[in-house]
Amino acid sequence: MSKRISCEELVHTGFVNKVFDAGGKDDNAAFLKLVLAEVQDRLGSHLNGESLVKIKALIQGPVREKLDRQGVVEVFAGLERFVKGVPQEEFRKVASGEKKHKL
């Protein structure tokens, strides 16, 4: 997709939560001040940091478990191919010039 998406469209669709108008492209200090104020407002001392971390861990738990299981599956699949000699044969082809690259 090469069509530019406007800032208003990004906000409207929820891809971007908020746009900070700091006056200009070169006013980094004003931008930083606005961003830090927003962070302080949303994640300030009125929230319990430990609770936020625990909630985040609970939300990410199922995804993390799925990725951990997938990692094990990938390792055993690689081991199976290694035992069959697939990588050794491919590297032999590269070393002998039969194959030009590892891909």
Q: Looking at the predicted structure, is the pLDDT value of residue 14 above 90?
A: yes
Q: What is the mean pLDDT of residues 36-41?
A: 90
Q: pLDDT tens digits, residue range 39-90?
A: 898 888 888 989 999 999 999 999 999 999 999 999 999 999 999 999 999 9
Query: Sorting pLDDT into bands at 50, 70 and 90, what band is 24?
Result: confident
Q: Identify the residue with better confidence: 21 or 24.
A: 21
Position 82 scores a pLDDT of 96
Q: What is the mean pLDDT of residues 28-41?
A: 90
Question: On the CB side of 69, how many CA atoms lie within 13 Å of its CA?
Answer: 6
**Dihedral sign from CA coordinates of 25, 28, 29, 31:** positive
Q: Give the Cβ contact number of residue 35 at 10 Å.
A: 13
Query: Sorting pLDDT into bands at 50, 70 and 90, what band is 102?
Result: low
- 8 A C-beta contact, residue 71 and residue 77: no
Q: Looking at the predicted structure, is the pLDDT value of residue 101 above 80?
A: no
- Name the residue ranges covered by the structural domains of the chain: 1-47, 48-103
